Amino acid sequence: MTDSSRIATARLGANGPEVGVQGLGCMGMSFAYGPSDADESRATLERALELGVTLFDTADAYGAGENEKFLSPFFNAHRDEVVIATKFALAIPPDDPTRRVIRNDAPYIRQAVEASLRRLDVDVIDLYYMHRRDVNVPIEETVGTMADLVREGKVKQLGLSEVTADELRTAHTVHPIAAVQSEWSLFSRDIEANVVPAARDLGVTLVPYSPLGRGFLTGSFAKAEDLTTDDFRRQQPRFTGENAAANAALLDPIRTVAESHGATLGQIALAWVQQRASVHGLPIVPIPGTRRPGRVAENTAATRIVLSEDELALLEPIAGKVSGDRYADMSFASAGRE
């Protein structure tokens, strides 16, 4: 492999490490997107690292700890090369393992970090995110507890997922926040109004999740019925009924741009996020999720695609025409609280 196939790097927060400019979302390897092949997932992790991907994204909620356990041997085999990001906040109530309750309180965070460290089998988590915001706990308290974990050496950097701009600003007064993780793609641009400018002003790196619109932007599925019955996306408003049909038609301009670059639709979607961030003037590390080595190579190659002003203009109206919210319950997302 030539050095030129390795991706560039970006800084994670003002004082954080340099990481590959694209990370890898590992959620689908254990959770949410139908059946996975463990050997293929492992090959995907190795291929990603070869290509310069160093930020690997998981959460305690992905498969109720199974994703962290699955990743542990890979992380430990490459401990000095990988930056491990995991998250807390989606608690499983003891009386009903099918439900999730958002918890940001200190006793819960302390229990969650110990459980993640144990499952990952590491001494320290490189980037620890609050996955979802529990509005009943002041954000100062939550970040105060997270900052204690940094002082105790259990965690290196702090991140927040799906926070509003105000929550981010308040959090940052308690302890520097290295990264904000939120959905950002050609289909989901709500964070551009407030969260992205706040992150830029504070020197926080943006980590866009679902940059491929959960796979829809690649054209690999067109409606909920194309997915296996256990696939979480079957419940998402954008992929069901009339919304799905209307949204599939929105891929046409992406197809046009892809053809002119000899690229795939997914590559154009990824190149767009990367370029949109330079318009806003802040560092980003998108974390497309895949379980297939060939797709990692395809996705990382997208970091080298440059879109013209005309192409950006053609793609600009897409998000405004999307039918359906990105979650069935938008209080689950920052935009539901702004």
Ligand X SMILES: NC(=O)c1ccc[n+]([C@@H]2O[C@H](COP(=O)([O-])OP(=O)(O)OC[C@H]3O[C@@H](n4cnc5c(N)ncnc54)[C@H](OP(=O)(O)O)[C@@H]3O)[C@@H](O)[C@H]2O)c1
Q: Which of residues 33-62 bind ligand X (CB under 6 A)?
A: 33, 57
Q: What's the closest the beta carbon of residue 189 comes to ligand X, in angstroms?
A: 14
List 22, 164, 205, 218, residue binding ligand X (CB under 6 A): 218
Which residue's C-beta sits nearest to ligand X? Answer: 25
Q: Which of residues 305-324 bind ligand X (CB under 6 A)?
A: none
Q: Which is nearer to ligand X, 16 or 215 (CB)?
A: 215
186 binds ligand X (CB under 6 A): no
Q: Does the annotation count 62 as an active-site position?
A: yes
Nearest 5°: phi and psi at 11? -90, 140
Q: Which of these ranges, 12-20, 141-149, 286-294, 311-319, lies near ligand X under the rule CB under 6 A? A: 286-294
Classify residue 335 as exposed, middle or buried by CB count within 10 Å of its CB (0-12, 13-18, 19+): buried
**What tokens does 16 get?**
């954080």
Q: What's the closest the beta carbon of residue 306 comes to ligand X, in angstroms?
A: 19
Strands 155-161 and 179-183: parallel
Q: What's the closest the beta carbon of residue 326 comes to ligand X, in angstroms?
A: 10
Task: Measure the CA–CA gap between 272 and 311, rounded to whole angstroms.
Answer: 10
Q: What's the closest the beta carbon of residue 200 comes to ligand X, in angstroms?
A: 20
Nearest 5°: phi and psi at 273? -60, -45
86 binds ligand X (CB under 6 A): no
Nearest 5°: phi and psi at 19? -130, 160
Q: Which of these ranges, 71-79, 171-179, 188-196, 205-213, lies near ligand X under the rule CB under 6 A? A: 205-213
Q: Which of these ranges, 106-114, 146-154, 276-284, 289-297, lies near ligand X under the rule CB under 6 A? A: 289-297
145 binds ligand X (CB under 6 A): no
Helix (H, G, I), strand (E, B) or coil at 125: strand
CA 186 from chain center: how many Å? 15
Residue written as token pair 């620890």: 128
Which residues, 6+ apart, have CB-to-CB distance to 337 below 8 Å?
133, 135, 164, 167, 331
261 binds ligand X (CB under 6 A): no
Q: Which of these ranges, 68-76, 94-102, 243-251, 292-300, lies near ligand X under the rule CB under 6 A? A: 292-300
3-state secondary structure 17-65: CEEECCCEECHHHCCCCCCCCHHHHHHHHHHHHHCCCCEEECCCCCCCC
Phi/psi-derived region of residue 219, left when phi > 0, alpha when psi is between -120 and 50, beta in every other case: left
Helix (H, G, I), strand (E, B) or coil at 11: strand
Q: Which of these ranges, 105-113, 133-141, 213-221, 246-254, lies near ligand X under the rule CB under 6 A? A: 213-221
Amino acid found at 190: D
215 binds ligand X (CB under 6 A): yes
Q: Which is nearer to ligand X, 145 or 161 (CB)?
A: 161
**What tokens does 97 get?**
């393992």
137 binds ligand X (CB under 6 A): no
290 binds ligand X (CB under 6 A): yes
30 binds ligand X (CB under 6 A): no
Q: Hey, which residues are catalytic here?
A: 62
Residues lying near ligand X in the complex (CB under 6 A): 25-28, 33, 57, 131, 161-162, 181, 209-215, 218, 220, 266, 287-292, 295, 298-299
